[in-house]
Every structure is written in structure tokens, then in C-alpha cells.
């Protein structure tokens, strides 16, 4: 019946078209509700785009989709979800579990299931259609399958793969293979990956032994480094061949350094893995070619096509490619870990990893799992405890989902460390206030210590190099209190979202007190910069860059603080660089930030590439951390800084319902970004190759709005698609700010051009 009505409606719409265009003698009009061609796509269940690869334990799962529309400024006005016990039923529009009916709502993510009781260990199927702003109804989406697991229990089984994906194996072909000598081959897979190697070998007799060498680093051309410094990996295996042609897989033995009690273990069906790019085969009795060998790489589900960035700077492009790949390659554990040396989750590592993951793939489950794991399994640095609040807020802003914040609300309150506050608001772990009850409230059994950055100079062999810029580690630490301030601000926002008005006001009031005290007691008014702590006369880069990044610095002191920051160069670790770049872009120092990201000296990302790694390093170079590994995602900050800061795409409202597009190009001539969001892909590109002309093109997904910042001397100098903004439909000028004209736009494609900017 519905099919018949659709055909009739389509016929009437066609008739109306001809009545208007060609048959004016027959005036005819009807409210057309025929199906559009743009059905919803990219379905998600419990934030998973491929839920059939896992199991779901929330028996009121939440659905989401990308709205899609070719109509400018289009929004979803209603939706209808069908859920059925079989694909066959759903194909016939039989929803034996839930038919939401037509729900008047713009919500296209985090839509909760309200149907019949779902059963454990059972598969279900769902699809959705939507109505647009003209009341046109779309076709139904493709069908998505999801499978229920067992209900969550009070004590979470962290080893299970519920609500996230298990690591998957993929076979990678060699990019180069060289026969070095009789029976001796060198193989390059192009990029390092965690996994093992599979070979097809032939032997005329049983017992022949073949050597297989795997490594991350070369000692010379076509030769694996067998004496690697630090924690750079090398491994030798011996295969005992059987008679005939067989496929052999190298077994990687456990390493006591990364399989300890705190380390994340590999699932038994995947097996132990090793990071390597190169393979050498020696004493091989048969002739080999590329088809006989494969790298068996292990990683979390990852869509390589979800994001893209390219610019006029070849170094920046190479840095982006490496950092993006780092997020994929280091996902092998299914939780963010600190590289291969320990394979332990740490909050600061996870926060950088989280932001990067959001910017390179439309994937949220690994970030959420890592965050929740760390709430219950925290680590020892004081600032790392405070990171949990930052991670909770990022999770909410990128997903729009409140479930995790609700579940861990009391834990997050404790993670602000407000229980350690003095009367003036400042905190310290060295004043006797860290009681057993405080430690219990943050799920930590040990001693908290301030970190600031890592490693200190004393950690390297010659005690010359360190990443703290000679920070004075006094009892009341400026960096710790800046983190505390940021956690209080975000906790106030979390409380507001969850309707806890009393807590909102309490945390907001405390944040204001902390900011006032930092600026009164930890700021050197004569020098215009922040000192390292109470009673200290030393000022390090860190005390100042975190102040800008977290909004502690008052407007009148920004110039002096930034001047000091720029005088210190990259006097921080790859972790600190995340916050240094955040601070620089927030202060409008895009030229200097770009200079740091494209630096070719040994304290920059390009040095990681020059060293031979295809994954970001744990430190800038071996001499800065002599036990470093070559596979540490906390060194991949440009994977989020480029989309969030340089291209300027960030959520203004939770779940990207409203976004900001504020490019800060520095001296780039052009750049283009594809950024995945829960609402769909955002496309941004700019061209500044012509003198005094800046062209900014944006493509914004349906069901969203954006504030677009266009470099301009005045709004009169800006046009859109060749027209003045006054004549362009759906664009509203808001204000001028710091040399940029700010416009509010709905979804669709826009081309802004600014002259004489």
C-alpha cells in the first residue's frame, strides 16, 4: 500500500511540474511528499558503524545516522525507525519489535530504542527514514544489523569486546623485495605495523631451518638493524620447514616488558604481535617473490578514507600522513596504550590519542573505552588524574552522548582533585591532604606525583637533555593548578548538561577562585609571565603555555606570555607539543605554530620521518629519551592540531550540531581537509595563493549549522559565490573579530572570497 501511495505521489509531483512548465492552461498544485533520493546513511548503533562486528550490552541501544541532503540549509524535521527480528521482515517494512512512528525531531544521533524487550545473544535489524524541512520524506536507509550480548554487570569485564571492536588482522603486500644473495631476501612493507609475518616456503626435505628477521629500523640499505637503541624493535625467528610447499606464520613470543600486570594483553585468537616494517629471510631453500610473503597487521577497525588533508607544504603533508597512520597502527590493543615498550594506558597519552582519533576516523568507541578504563585504572601523575575530566568533555562534544558522563559523574567530580584545595583554591599533593579516602575516590592505590612533562633531564644518560625546560618542581605547582582550573571549568559544564545546577555553580565558583589565585600568586607582574610554582623564581615554557591553552591568562597579559613562549622554542616533549600548539593557535600565532609543525631540525615531527619511522615516536629523538619506542601515539598531535586548529573545525555544540570553521593558515598557499564527524563529513579548503585574496570553500553536512571565520578587513570585502553577503540566502553576518568576518550558515556548500584582506 505504501509503495502504491509513493508512486501516485511521484506521478502527482510530475504532473504538477508539467502543469507549471508546459501546461499553464491546467493550473495544478499539491503538497508533494515524494521520496527524495538522499536516504540516511552511515548508520550507528551504540556509536558503532559496524555493530555486527561486536556485541552490545545496553538493552536500550541508541541509534544514529547521517541525514544527507542536496538542499541548502536543510534540516531533519522528523524521523521514523523500524526495528525487526529478521532482515526479511525489515525488507518488507514489518517492524515486529519497534516502529517509532513519525517522530518530530531534528535529532539524528543518540536516539534511544523504545521497543519490545531485546534478548541476549540475539541479532536484530534496523533502518530509518527522515523528513526534511519541506516535509519531503526520504527512502529508508540501508539495513544495519546489531547483536546483543549479555547485560552489563556491576564489575566490568575489561577484557571483553562488548561495545567495541576486537582487533582485526589484515594482510599487507610488500612494496619492495630484494634478493641480496642466494636464499637471502630483504622485504619492505612500506609502513611499520603491529603483527607478524606469513610466508609460503618450499623444501625438498624436512628439517631445513630458515631465519626470519623482523625489525623497525635499518642499519644500512636493505639491512635490518639488529642492535637497536632504546625500545626500537628487532626479532629473530627460526622456522623448521616441512617437506613440500607450506604456509608458515612466525610466532611472536611474549615480552616481559609489555606483558606485565598493568599491560593490555592481546586476545588469544589474535596472538602476540611485534611492530616491524622490514623482514629479512635467510637460508631459504626456495625462490621467493612478493606473492610469497605478507605482513599480518593487527589494528582496530579503521576507515582509511574517512579523512584527508593536503596542503601546499610537502613537509606538513608528510607529517599529517605519518600522524594519521600512527592512530591506526597503534590501535592494535583495542585501547589506547603508550606504545610497545609498556603497552599500558595513560591518561595524557589517551587524551591526545582521543582527539586525533576523532579527527581521522568516524570512530568513538575506542576513545570511550580507553577513557572509562582509565577512570577505574588510573596512573600516578597528578595531571593525568585531572585529564579524565578533559576526556569526558571531549567524548561528549564529539558524540553528543551523555551516557558515559552520567555513569561516571561522581568519579569525574573526584578526578578534579577539588578535595585537595586550600582556602585560596590551589591544590597540591605535597601538603598532607592526599588521604586514603581521596585515593579511594579516584580509584588509585599508590602515591601521586606531579609530572609537568617527561622525561626530565636526569632520565637521559648524560643528564643534559630533558623536556621540562628546567621546571622548578615545588610543592604548589603552577602546571598542576592550571590543569585543576581547566578540570573545574569543564566539570561545571558537565554538571550543567546533566542538570546538576548546584554542582554547576559550585565548580564554576571554585574555578573563578583558582584563576584569580593563580594570577595573583603565581604570576610575575614585573616580567609578565608565570612562574613554576609558589615560592619559585623560575619560569619555564610549561607554566606559560598551559596558561594560554587553558584560558588562565588575562587578555592584557597574552602578549608578554606569548613572547616568552616563543622565546623558548620547542622546549617540551611530544606530549607538551600538543598543548603548546593549542596555545599558539588560541592566541592567533598561526605562523609560528606552522613553523614548529614543519620544522626539519631534530625537535620536530619531520625528524621522526627522517629517522626512518612511519609511526610517531615517543620522543623527538633517541638522545632526548634513551629508551624511546618508535610507535607512540602521544607523539601524533598534528593529527588533531591540523583539523582542529590550522583548518579550525571544532564542535561548538555537542555532537557537531553546531560547529566552528576558523582556519588559521599561517603562510600556507592552499590546503584542503575532509573531516569525519558524527553528523557527516565536513569539507574545508582555502586558497591564499593570490596576493590579498583569500578564498574559503566549505561544505557543511545537513542538519548542522556553522560559524565560519573569513579573514577580512571588513564584511564589505567578502562575497559568497560571487554575490554580496546581503544577497546570499541563509548567511548571517555576526561580527568582526581579530581580522575575521564571522558568519552563521546552515548546511550546504559555500564559497567565500575576501579581497584586500
Residue 740, by phi and psi: left (phi above 0), alpha (psi -120 to 50) or beta?
beta
Span 375-391, pLDDT tens digits: 999 999 999 999 999 99
pLDDT at 499: 98
Per mean pLDDT, which range of 24-33, 307-316, 470-479 is the poorest?
24-33
Task: Extract the C-alpha cell encoding 427.
Answer: 591544590
State the Cα–Cα distance between residues 183 and 210, nearest whole angstrom: 9
pLDDT at 15: 35
pLDDT above 50 for 484: yes
Q: Model confidence at 416, in pLDDT bands (50, 70, 90)?
A: very high
> Taking Cα atoms as reference points, which of 584, 709, 736 lies closest to residue 647?
709
Cis peptide before 179 (omega within 30 of 0): no
Task: Give the 3-state secondary structure of residue 495.
Answer: helix
Radius of gyration for the chain, computed over Cα atoms and rounded to the nearest angstrom: 28
Region 77-87 average pLDDT: 98
Region 739-748 average pLDDT: 96
CATH number of 168-299: 2.60.120.260
Span 322-347, pLDDT tens digits: 999 999 999 999 999 999 999 999 99
Q: Model confidence at 464, in pLDDT bands (50, 70, 90)?
A: confident
Please provide the average confidence, as pLDDT, over all residues in the chain.
93
pLDDT above 90 for 51: yes
Whole-model pTM above 0.85? yes
Region 302-308 average pLDDT: 98
Compute φ and ψ for 635, nearest 5 degrees: -95, 10
pLDDT at 153: 52
pLDDT at 752: 97
Region 677-683 average pLDDT: 98
State the Cα–Cα distance between residues 311 and 327, nearest whole angstrom: 20
Region 31-35 average pLDDT: 44
The residue length of the chain stands at: 757
C-beta separation of 575 from 610 below 8 A:
no
pLDDT above 80 for 57: yes
pLDDT above 50 for 536: yes
pLDDT above 50 for 7: no
Q: How far is CA 97 from CA 118, 388, 746, in A?
A: 8, 38, 36
> 658-755 adopts what CATH topology?
Maltose phosphorylase, domain 3 (2.60.420)
Q: Are strands 705-711 and 658-661 parallel, antiparallel or unpaired?
A: parallel
pLDDT at 459: 76
> Taking Cα atoms as reference points, which of 416, 425, 420 lies closest to residue 520?
425
C-beta separation of 212 from 288 below 8 A:
no
Region 404-426 average pLDDT: 98
Max CA pair span of the chain: 93
Q: Model confidence at 151, in pLDDT bands (50, 70, 90)?
A: confident
State the Cα–Cα distance between residues 95 and 82, nearest whole angstrom: 5
Region 571-582 average pLDDT: 98
pLDDT at 213: 98
Question: 404 or 28: which carries more pLDDT confidence?
Answer: 404
pLDDT at 152: 65
**Domain spans, the chain:** 1-32, 35-147, 168-299, 417-552, 658-755
State the Cα–Cα distance between residues 630 and 614, nearest whole angstrom: 8
Name the strand (E) or helix (H) holding 90: helix 87-91
Q: Model confidence at 154, in pLDDT bands (50, 70, 90)?
A: very low
Region 419-448 average pLDDT: 97
Question: By 3-state DSSP, what share of the chain in percent is helix, strand and coil, each rounded to 5?
Answer: 30, 25, 45
pLDDT above 90 for 682: yes
pLDDT at 36: 53
pLDDT above 80 for 176: yes
Q: Which residues contact 134 (CB under 8 A, 6 or more apart)?
A: 71
pLDDT above 60 for 23: no
> Taking Cα atoms as reference points, which of 451, 472, 453 lies closest to residue 572?
453
β-pair partners for 498: none
Treating both helix axes as pointing N-terminal to C-terminal, what angle do 382-399 and 347-360 enclose, rounded to 10 degrees?
A: 20
Region 494-514 average pLDDT: 98
Task: Give the 3-state secondary structure of residue 88.
Answer: helix
Task: Give the 3-state secondary structure of residue 413.
Answer: helix
Region 548-560 average pLDDT: 98
Q: Which residue has the cell 573569513?
A: 710
State the Cα–Cα distance between residues 670 and 684, nearest whole angstrom: 11
Q: Model confidence at 462, in pLDDT bands (50, 70, 90)?
A: low
CATH class of 35-147: mainly beta
Task: Extract the C-alpha cell encoding 595.
Answer: 613553523
> 417-552 adopts what CATH topology?
Glycosyltransferase (1.50.10)
Task: Give the 3-state secondary structure of residue 399.
Answer: helix
* Continuous H helices in 587-731: 590-597, 605-611, 638-641
DSSP state of 588: T
Span 126-140, pLDDT tens digits: 999 999 999 999 999
Q: Which residues contact 382 (CB under 8 A, 6 or more apart)?
A: 417, 429, 448, 449, 450, 451, 477, 480, 483
Q: How many CB atoms lie within 10 A of CB 659?
A: 24
Compute φ and ψ for 379, nearest 5 degrees: -115, 180
Per mean pLDDT, which range of 31-35, 66-70, 512-516, 682-686 is the poorest?
31-35
pLDDT at 37: 64
State the Cα–Cα distance between residues 158 and 374, nearest whole angstrom: 11
pLDDT at 458: 78
State the Cα–Cα distance between residues 660 and 398, nearest whole angstrom: 13
Q: How many CB atoms lie within 10 A of CB 261?
A: 5
State the Cα–Cα distance between residues 307 and 310, nearest whole angstrom: 11
pLDDT above 60 for 696: yes
Q: What is the 3-state secondary structure (H, E, C) of 181-250?
A: ECCEEEEEEEEEEEEEEEEEEEECCCCCEEEEEEECCEEECCEECCCCCCCCCEEEEEEECCCEEEEEEC
Q: How far is CA 557 from CA 407, 425, 561, 562, in A?
A: 40, 22, 6, 9
Percent share of the chain, pLDDT over 90: 90
Percent share of the chain, pLDDT over 70: 94
C-beta separation of 589 from 548 below 8 A:
no
pLDDT above 70 for 155: no
Q: How many CB atoms lie within 10 A of CB 713?
A: 15
Amino acid at each position: 500500500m505504501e509503495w502504491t501511495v509513493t508512486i501516485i505521489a511521484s506521478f502527482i509531483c510530475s504532473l504538477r511540474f508539467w502543469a507549471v512548465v508546459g501546461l499553464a492552461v491546467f493550473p495544478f498544485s499539491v503538497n508533494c511528499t515524494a521520496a527524495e533520493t538522499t536516504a540516511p546513511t552511515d548508520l550507528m548503533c551504540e556509536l558503532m558503524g559496524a555493530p555486527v562486528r561486536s556485541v552490545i550490552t545496553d538493552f536500550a541501544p541508541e541509534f544514529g545516522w547521517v541525514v544527507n541532503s542536496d538542499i541548502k540549509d536543510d534540516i531533519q524535521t522528523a524521523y521514523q525507525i523500524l526495528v525487526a527480528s529478521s532482515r526479511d521482515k525489515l525488507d518488507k517494512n514489518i517492524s515486529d519489535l519497534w516502529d517509532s512512528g513519525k517522530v518530530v525531531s531534528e535529532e539524528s544521533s543518540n536516539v534511544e530504542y523504545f521497543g519490545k524487550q531485546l534478548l541476549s545473544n540475539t541479532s536484530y535489524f534496523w533502518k530509518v527514514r527522515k523528513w526534511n524541512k519541506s516535509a519531503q520524506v526520504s527512502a529508508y536507509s540501508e539495513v544495519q544489523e546489531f547483536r546483543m550480548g549479555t547485560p552489563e554487570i556491576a564489575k566490568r569485564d575489561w577484557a571483553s569486546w562488548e561495545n567495541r571492536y576486537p582487533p582485526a588482522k589484515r594482510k599487507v603486500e610488500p612494496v619492495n623485495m630484494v634478493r641480496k644473495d642466494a636464499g637471502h631476501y630483504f622485504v619492505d612493507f612500506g609502513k611499520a605495523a603491529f603483527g607478524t609475518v606469513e610466508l609460503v616456503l618450499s623444501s625438498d626435505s624436512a628439517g631445513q631451518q630458515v631465519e626470519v628477521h623482523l625489525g623497525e629500523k635499518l642499519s644500512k640499505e636493505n639491512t635490518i638493524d639488529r642492535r637497536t637503541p632504546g625500545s626500537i624493535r628487532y626479532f629473530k625467528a627460526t622456522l623448521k620447514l616441512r617437506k613440500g610447499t607450506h604456509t608458515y606464520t612466525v610466532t611472536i613470543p611474549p615480552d616481559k616488558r609489555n606483558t606485565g600486570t598493568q599491560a593490555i594483553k592481546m586476545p588469544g585468537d589474535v596472538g602476540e604481535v611485534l611492530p616491524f616494517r622490514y623482514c629479512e629471510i635467510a637460508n631459504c631453500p626456495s625462490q621467493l617473490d612478493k606473492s610469497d610473503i605478507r605482513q599480518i597487521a593487527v589494528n582496530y577497525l579503521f576507515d582509511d578514507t574517512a579523512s584527508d588533508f593536503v596542503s601546499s607544504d610537502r613537509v606538513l603533508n608528510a607529517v599529517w600522513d605519518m600522524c594519521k597512520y600512527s592512530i591506526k597502527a597503534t590501535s592494535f590493543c583495542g585501547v589506547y596504550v603508550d606504545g610497545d615498550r609498556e603497552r599500558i594506558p595513560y591518561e595524557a597519552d589517551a587524551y591526545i590519542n582521543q582527539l586525533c582519533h576523532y579527527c581521522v576516523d568516524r570512530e568513538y568507541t575506542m576513545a570511550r573505552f580507553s577513557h572509562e578504563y582509565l577512570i577505574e585504572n588510573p596512573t600516578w601523575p597528578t595531571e593525568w588524574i585531572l585529564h579524565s575530566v578533559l576526556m569526558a568533555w571531549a567524548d561528549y562534544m564529539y558524540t553528543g552522548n551523555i551516557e558515559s558522563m552520567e555513569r561516571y559523574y561522581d568519579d569525574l567530580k573526584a578526578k578534579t582533585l577539588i578535595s585537595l584545595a586550600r582556602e585560596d583554591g590551589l591544590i597540591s599533593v605535597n601538603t598532607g591532604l592526599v588521604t586514603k579516602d581521596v585515593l579511594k575516590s579516584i580509584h588509585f592505590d599508590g602515591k601521586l606525583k606531579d609530572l609537568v612533562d617527561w622525561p626530565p633531564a636526569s632520565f637521559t644518560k648524560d643528564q643534559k637533555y630533558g623536556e621540562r625546560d628546567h621546571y622548578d618542581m615545588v610543592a604548589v605547582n603552577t602546571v598542576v593548578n592550571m590543569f585543576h582550573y581547566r578540570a573545574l571549568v569543564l566539570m561545571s559544564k558537565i554538571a550543567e548538561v546533566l542538570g546538576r545546577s548546584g554542582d554547576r555553580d559550585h565548580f564554576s565558583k571554585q574555578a573563578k577562585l583558582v584563576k584569580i589565585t593563580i594570577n595573583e600568586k603565581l604570576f610575575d607582574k614585573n616580567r609578565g609571565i608565570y612562574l613554576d610554582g609558589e615560592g619559585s623564581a623560575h619560569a619555564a615554557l610549561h607554566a606559560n603555555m598551559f596558561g594560554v591553552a587553558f584560558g588562565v591568562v588575562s587578555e592584557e597579559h597574552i602578549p608578554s606570555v606569548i613572547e616568552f613562549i616563543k622565546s623558548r622554542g620547542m622546549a617540551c616533549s611530544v606530549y607538551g607539543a600538543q598543548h603548546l600548539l593549542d596555545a599558539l593557535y588560541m592566541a592567533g600565532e598561526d605562523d609560528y605554530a606552522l613553523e614548529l609543525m614543519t620544522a626539519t631540525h631534530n625537535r620536530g615531527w619531520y625528524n621522526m620521518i627522517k629517522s626512518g619511522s612511519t609511526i610517531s615516536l615517543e620522543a623527538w629523538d633517541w638522545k632526548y629519551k634513551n629508551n624511546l619506542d618508535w610507535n607512540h601515539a602521544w607523539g601524533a598531535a598534528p593529527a588533531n592540531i591540523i583539523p582542529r586548529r590550522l583548518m579550525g573545525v571544532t564542535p561548538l555544540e555537542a555532537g557537531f550540531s553546531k560547529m566552528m570553521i576558523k582556519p588559521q593558515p599561517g603562510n600556507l598557499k592552499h590546503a584542503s581537509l575532509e573531516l569525519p564527524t558524527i553528523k557527516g563529513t565536513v569539507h574545508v579548503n582555502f586558497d591564499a595563493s593570490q596576493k590579498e585574496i583569500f578564498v574559503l570553500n566549505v561544505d557543511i553536512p545537513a542538519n548542522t549549522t556553522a560559524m565560519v571565520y573569513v579573514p577580512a578587513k571588513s564584511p564589505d570585502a567578502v562575497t559568497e559565490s560571487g554575490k554580496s553577503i546581503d544577497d546570499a540566502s541563509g548567511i548571517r553576518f555576526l561580527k568582526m573579530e581579530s581580522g575575521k568576518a564571522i558568519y552563521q550558515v546552515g548546511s550546504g556548500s559555500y564559497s567565500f572570497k575576501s579581497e584586500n584582506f
